[in-house]
Amino acid sequence: MRVDPFLVERFMGKYEHQVELNLAETCVKPFRLGEFLRLVGREDYLNELMDLPLTYGHVEGLPELRERIAGLYRDLSPDGVLVTRGAIDANFLAFFSLVEPGDRIVSIFPAYQQLYSLPKAFGAEVRLLHLRESEDWLPDLDRLSRLADGGARLLVVNNPHNPTGALLEESHLRAICDIAGDAGAYVLADESYHGLELGEERVPSMLDVCDRAIVTRSFSKSLSLTGLRLGWIATRDEGVMEELMGHRDYTTISASILLEHLALLAIENIERIYERNRGIVRENLEVVREWVESEPSVDWVPPRAGTVAFPSYSLDLPSEELALRLIREKGVFVVPGCCFEMEGHFRIGFGGDGNELREGLARFSDLLSSIQGGPVI
Ligand SMILES: Cc1ncc(COP(=O)(O)O)c(C=O)c1O
């Protein structure tokens, strides 16, 4: 089976361990294990696990963990939750289970590439719903309706959105669900950055407003436990769950029972983690905002949630060259727009260390002022 190269993964894999200042990260400052256990008040927890039998555990996921995850949603039974190895595995499982060759899939673009390249690899006819900067990177619902018209298997969204930081509010979620209903489609909502609103508003999960939803999420990004490599997929649709289970038997057996116990601690203390993490992203966002406002060649639609933004720049330089010069001359790492098949942009992550962010942006400014060339965009 042919699959397109995953551009952002290839680029990050090549450079992220060579750079001094990494502003390309999408996770909120990952916990050190001790820091996490201290935050949740369970420093002795590893000792408590000494008698844990290291078996396969429960194939669908640790029962207490599924129950806690289900509790994050309105009236969801634990039977509607499957524990996966990160959101990437959850998304894979959704496409692997539901997409037949020739099915129509409508996916937002730009996006985390898995969301459109993988269904294409499974033989789907993938239609892209182009998000536009001039529309605050929000989907145009009439265009979505036209793309889905005549029937679709899945409408794929990502909320909050990587790479732009756009946020679909409840009214958008409901409208997308209605369009899916008219098209006879399910909505696959990747909610990896859920809970990281940058303002005071809270946005519900697609699963809480749409019975056709299949949602994916993980312990990475907004929960800072990326190294657990755990996530989940949730749905209210019993037929979909049956398909997911039947396909998952061929890819996973079970997640790690040891790590599921750590994940359980995280879910039990999810509000404390959100409090830490919203503090980090909100403070860092102001650093990026000040920088963007001070840079004449850089502009943006300010992100409304998550850990990333997708500013534009007006220099006569391809995005890859800009990013490579930033790496080589300044030791600073951002993701060029070309990794999202969009020139004239770069993705910056602001979930990390504030001092690293300030220093990285100062060096970015040095590079921008040393670059000659007139505006072209
Ligand atoms: C939108 C989105 N979905 C899924 C993933 C996969 O993350 P993980 O498997 O760590 O949950 C990422 C990672 O960058 C992402 O940005």
CATH number of 222's domain? 3.40.640.10
- Beta strands 21-22 and 332-333, pairing class: parallel
Express each pLDDT in 110-160 by its tens digit.
999 999 999 999 999 999 999 999 999 999 999 999 999 999 999 999 999
Q: Among 244, 269, 294, where does a domain finish? A: 269
Cα-Cα end-to-end distance for the chain: 38
CATH number of 343's domain? 3.90.1150.10
Task: Give the residue from 351, 5, 77, 36 showing the smallest Cα distance to 236.
Answer: 77
| Cβ-Cβ contacts under 8 Å for 364 (sequence gap 6 or more) | 23, 291, 326, 330, 332, 334
The one-digit pLDDT tens for each residue of the chain (377 residues) are 999 999 999 999 999 888 999 999 999 999 999 999 999 999 999 999 999 999 999 999 999 999 999 999 999 999 999 999 999 999 999 999 999 999 999 999 999 999 999 999 999 999 999 999 999 999 999 999 999 999 999 999 999 999 999 999 999 999 999 999 999 999 999 999 999 999 998 999 999 999 999 999 999 999 999 999 999 999 999 999 999 999 999 999 999 999 999 999 999 999 999 999 999 999 999 999 999 999 999 999 999 999 999 999 999 999 999 999 999 999 999 999 999 999 999 999 999 999 999 999 999 999 999 996 544 44
Answer whether 216 contacts ligand 1 (Cβ < 6 A). no
Give the domain range for residue 318.
7-33+272-368
Ligand 1 nearest atom to the CA of residue 90, by list position: 9
For residues 264 and 279, membership in a common domain is answered with no
Nearest CA owner, ligand 1 atom 6: 88
CB neighbourhood size of 19 (10 A): 18
pLDDT score, position 18: 87
For residues 186 and 122, membership in a common domain is answered with yes
374 domain-assigned: no
pLDDT score, position 31: 98
CA of 203 to the centre of ligand 1 (A): 19
CA of 109 to the centre of ligand 1 (A): 16
For residues 140 and 159, membership in a common domain is answered with yes
CA of 344 to the centre of ligand 1 (A): 23
pLDDT score, position 220: 98
Answer whether 218 contacts ligand 1 (Cβ < 6 A). yes
Number of domains in the chain: 2
Amino acid sitting at position 105 = I
373 domain-assigned: no
For residues 16 and 102, membership in a common domain is answered with no
Q: Among 217, 252, 269, where does a domain finish? A: 269
Residue 65 phi, psi (nearest 5): -70, -45
pTM across the whole model: 0.97
CA of 306 to the centre of ligand 1 (A): 12
CA of 294 to the centre of ligand 1 (A): 31
